[in-house]
A and B are shown apart, each in its own frame.
Chain A
Amino acid sequence: AQSVTQLGSHVSVSEGALVLLRCNYSSSVPPYLFWYVQYPNQGLQLLLKYTTGATLVKGINGFEAEFKKSETSFHLTKPSAHMSDAAEYFCAVRGNSGGSNYKLTFGKGTLLTVNP
């Protein structure tokens, strides 16, 4: 069984400020972890993912996330927010073995607002 919890359904930052979106996961097997972004009136697109190897992963648009096994976390960060970052962000997890191979479990999403 696997699940993700996104802390904060809505995060508001000023343009140029640090963006931090929190995600904690639960998984009975070593997880694969993902962040997806959804811009208004669009489908989701992959921002970044952790599968194996380096625990700090870099994605598109200057975002990065760090896999911390001891904290069961995969928080998303960006040093300086841009107006175009305003969107909804989803953390997702799946196991890497057995019948969970094909199935992603998504969090409830965090809506990021960027103020000028």
Chain B
Amino acid sequence: DVKVTQSSRYLVKRTGEKVFLECVQDMDHENMFWYRQDPGLGLRLIYFSYDVKMKEKGDIPEGYSVSREKKERFSLILESASTNQTSMYLCASSKITGAFATNEKLFFGSGTQLSVL
């Protein structure tokens, strides 16, 4: 089965620190995504990538950047962490699909709960 692995389950950082969240998938998926999940707000897309070195902004990219140097790895970077970035971060991947995505499915990691103090 597909496995999406996020490097940390819990992370505590201080305001102003540079934070790296790592995600690795083992099924050769082209698409990778970073979401944040907050109570009452659901999942909101931060960034996604549909190929190595390619990235596109999602709905809430401010304060974040990403890196995709290898197909299996997608990193989320908080350049200067702030308290409003305390959240659950979910990574996901999927096989590339065209207009008729009859076999589309996102595979999620278990999440990283980030607390910024």
Contact = CB atoms under 8 A, between A and B. Distances in A.
Contacts, number: 61
Contact of A44 (B31, B100, B102, B108): B108
A103 B48 contact: yes
A13 interface: no
Nearest to A110: B42
Contact of A107 (B31, B42, B90): B42
The bracket for how many chain B residues form the interface is: 20 to 34
Interface in A1-17: 6, 9
Report the interface size class on chain A. Answer: 20 to 34
Given A42-B110, A44-B90, A103-B58, A49 B104 contact: yes
Interface of B: 4, 31, 35, 40-45, 48, 50, 56, 58-59, 90, 92, 97-102, 104-106, 108-111
